[in-house]
Structures are given as structure tokens and as C-alpha cells.
Amino acid sequence: MFETVIGLEIHAELNTKSKIFCSCSTRFGNRPNENTCPVCMGLPGTLPVLNKEAVRLAARAGTALHCSVNRVSRFDRKNYFYPDLPKAYQITQYDLPLCEFGYLDIETGQDRPNGTRRTHRIGISRIHLEEDAGKLIHPEGETVTLLDYNRAGVPLIEIVTEPDMRSPEEAVAFLKALKSILEYTEVSDCRMEQGSLRCDVNLSVREMGKTDFGTKVEIKNLNSFREIQRALAAEGERQKKQYCSGGPDSILPETRRWDNGRGRTVTMRSKEGNQDYRYFPDPDLPPVFLDRSLLCPMRNGIPELPEQKKERFLREYGLNPYEAGLLTGEKALAGYYEEVVGFGVDSREAAHWILYELLRIRKEAGNREIPVKSRYLADLIQKIGEGRISRNTGKDVLMEMVVTRKAPGEIIREKGLSQISDPAELQKIIRGVLSRNTDAAQDYKKGSAKAIGFLMGQIMKASRGKANPNLARVLLEELLS
């Protein structure tokens, strides 16, 4: 029996307008090399100037993740040669990082509505500030590599965890919780598809019961939760097999990459040690001193975080942990939910329509935005509650609202979707159905339970789905008795 040991290194781009050591824009999607200057291009004679906002955001992340924020930290040079790094060194923090000794409590086992909640505390060893590198572009079918330095010098935090995770599921749960905190605190926009949140993982295996760690293998540049989950699962299996056939020493310390197509990890290079980078303090940047008067307001300025919000949703809205977890996992969604409830809609109905209808539509559209105004959704739910339209019609109206951006009342009027709740009108429809289905009416009188289902179906059909089903059933039973 084996145990898997997982640690993570997460890089998150900070939400600053300008780069960390110059005033170039950090905007994503500009023309290649538009956001560059002599400083971030590493030209001789230039000097870096630290962006205060980057320090503030990094310290804010540290505070939200229960770290101690160091009053003195320092920048170092990490030396290596690669074309995406114009200076041939990266400015980062080595032995005096900005934040240390934090943790994040995660919950697993609630990816299903009836899952049991289990809490684990994952240690965060450090959070340090550094600059991002540029991007290499390899155009398909050509023998050239293009360089885009727009990203060079964009501020990053690197968050390093303790090796506290024991399964790919825990690693993904940690990442989701972390992402949500960075979004809540507005430290990073965490757009994994744009590379503003990236993750390196390290994994080792050991025999159950042993306390020494096995040989650590790193997997670089994983860009989605699904990829991380699959890569960790595949690498765990590979190491267990290797351990069984060649013993623990046959697992080599190395850096691997994930081959998505073949569904396995492949060797990239042997692991470089820290001595290979020849770290030394950057002589161009003085140490960073943080004043106590800066740190206090920061602690008070942390907003309600996902975990606290979730507990409040459980208490205030009568939701189950699964629903509360989904709604609070995304700050904008939690806010939207509270807006809908604020219009006086039943809190459980609101959760149902958002989680099971609206999110499905949003997912199909592949969008981040919530496609319907909160006021319109509240209005729709109220109309269903009042029996003006049926639940099923409600789903069609919602779809129409997404497409046309119109208010539900307008769609119901235009399409003539109002539910028929007028007893006289319903009786007319029911009499018509009964006169065409005398056999079924006889069967009902003889006690056939099936007959009523059949007749209700006919009534719904005759009214083109608009009959108020509860009222129609009462009237049908009256007419048959």
C-alpha cells in the first residue's frame, strides 16, 4: 500500500495596472511587444523601481491566507539563460520572502449534493513576489520561434504549499479554494485560460506508515483543474509501478511535463538544485520595509472570504453545503444570488434556478458572465411561484431571456405563454377532452389510476401546455365524480 504526497507551487499574476519594476501596462491581449520599455527588456543602464501596489496585493494575499507578513523582505536575482528572460536573471525573493507560515483549510467530499464534508488544513510555507517572464511562440509549420515580452515584468506571487495533500482530489480542492480567495480579495483575476494562474505540482510516493518522503518529481505548467487532476493521478501510478519494479531509488528527481494527448507525464530535464541558479541579493533594489501602520488596515480590509460566506449562506438561506459551496465559490455568483434573494424571492428557489438552470446555460455558452439580470430572474421565479406560468414554461422563458435580454413579463405576453388558471376556461378544455375520450373517463370511474394520468396529458396537450396543472386536476376530478 502506498501513500501519495503532493505539494503545489502556484503562480498568480497580480491585478496591477503596471508592471512590477517599470510603468509598462500589464494589459493582456495587446499587440506583441507593445507593453515593453528598456527596463523590462533588460537593457544595460536601466534601474528597476518597485511597484508599491504589487507589494500591497501580495501582502493582502498573505493576510487572507493566515501568513505572517514579514516587515523586512528582499529581492534576489535568480540567474538562468532562456530567451524568454531578457536580463538572463529573474528578480524574485529567495531567503527573505514577503509572507511565510500560513495555511488554508479545505473541504473535500462535497462535489456531490449528498457528500460528507471533510476538512484538511494545508500549510503554506511562503508567498513571495517576483516578475513574470516573456512568452515564446512557436508558429505551426514554421521553423522560427517568436518572442513576446509583454508579459516580462508582470508582477507575480508564487505561493508554495507544504507537502500536505494526499490525493489529486485534495490538490484540486486546495486550488479551487485558493483561486476563490485570490478572486474575493481582488489580488488576481485568476484567468487560467489566459495564464494568469498557473500551477506546478510535485509528487512523491512512499509506503503507507513511513514518515520519510520519497523522491520528489515536479510537473510543470499545468493549466486547468482537469489537467492537474489527470497529471497527478497518472504520475502517482507511474511512480508506484516504478517503486514496485525497481525499488525507491529507481525514481529519479526530475522535472516532467504532462502530455495531454497520451495521458501521461514525460521527462523534461533532471531537477536543477538551488545552487544552479546562483541566487544573490539584487544590488539595484533596496530591502522592502513594511510599516506597522500599513499592515493593520490591511488586516481589517480583508472582505468576507468564501468559507465565511458559505457558513453564512448555510445559516441564513437554508441551503445545503453543496449548494452553498457552489454559490460562494465564485464571488460574482454569490453577489448575484444575494441580489436575487434581495428582491424577495424564496432563497431555495433562487439557488435552484441559478445552480441548475442558469449555470448550465452559462456553461453551454462558454461564458464567464451571468447572462440574465438579477431583477429579471427574480421576476421570473416570482411569476412561477404565483402560478402565472408553469415551471417548464419558465425554463423556456429563461432561455428566451438569455437570447433576447428581454424581461420575462414581455416574453410571456409576446408568446402568449400565460398559464390558464381561469376555472371556466379550464372546464371548457376538460369537457372537450372528456367528450373525445369517453373510454378513459369510464376507466377512471372503474378505478383505473392510469386513466387520470392519460386524461391530464390530454388536457395539457389541448391547452398547449398552458393549463395550470394543479387546478386542472381538481376540476377534472370534480367533473368525473
Binding site for Zn ion (CB under 5 A): 22, 24, 37, 39-40
Judged by beta carbon, residue 37 or residue 294, the one nearer Zn ion is 37
CA distance 59 to 297: 12
Judged by beta carbon, residue 39 or residue 182, the one nearer Zn ion is 39
Judged by beta carbon, residue 152 or residue 175, the one nearer Zn ion is 152
* Residue 387 φ/ψ region, left for φ over 0, alpha for ψ in the -120 to 50 degree band, beta for the rest: left
H helix count then E strand count, the chain: 16, 16
In this structure, the number of other CB atoms found within 10 A of the CB of residue 71 comes to 12
| Residues paired with 99 in a beta bridge | 69, 127
DSSP state of 165: B
Q: How far is the CB of 16 from Zn ion (least distance, A)?
A: 13
Judged by beta carbon, residue 39 or residue 327, the one nearer Zn ion is 39
Q: How far is the CB of 88 from Zn ion (least distance, A)?
A: 17
Q: Which of 237, 123, 125 is nearest to 174 (CA)?
A: 123
SS (H, E, C) 326-374: HHHCCHHHHHHHHHHHHCCCCHHHHHHHHHHHHHHHHHHHCCCCCCCCH
Judged by beta carbon, residue 39 or residue 377, the one nearer Zn ion is 39
Judged by beta carbon, residue 76 or residue 131, the one nearer Zn ion is 131
Q: How far is the CB of 343 from Zn ion (least distance, A)?
A: 47
Question: What cell numbers appear for 218 in the block?
Answer: 515536479
Q: How far is the CB of 216 from Zn ion (least distance, A)?
A: 36
Q: How far is the CB of 148 from Zn ion (least distance, A)?
A: 13
Element (H, E) at 67: none
Q: Measure Cα distances from 333 to 146, 173, 183, 266, 351 in Å.
A: 39, 19, 12, 38, 10
Q: How far is the CB of 36 from Zn ion (least distance, A)?
A: 5
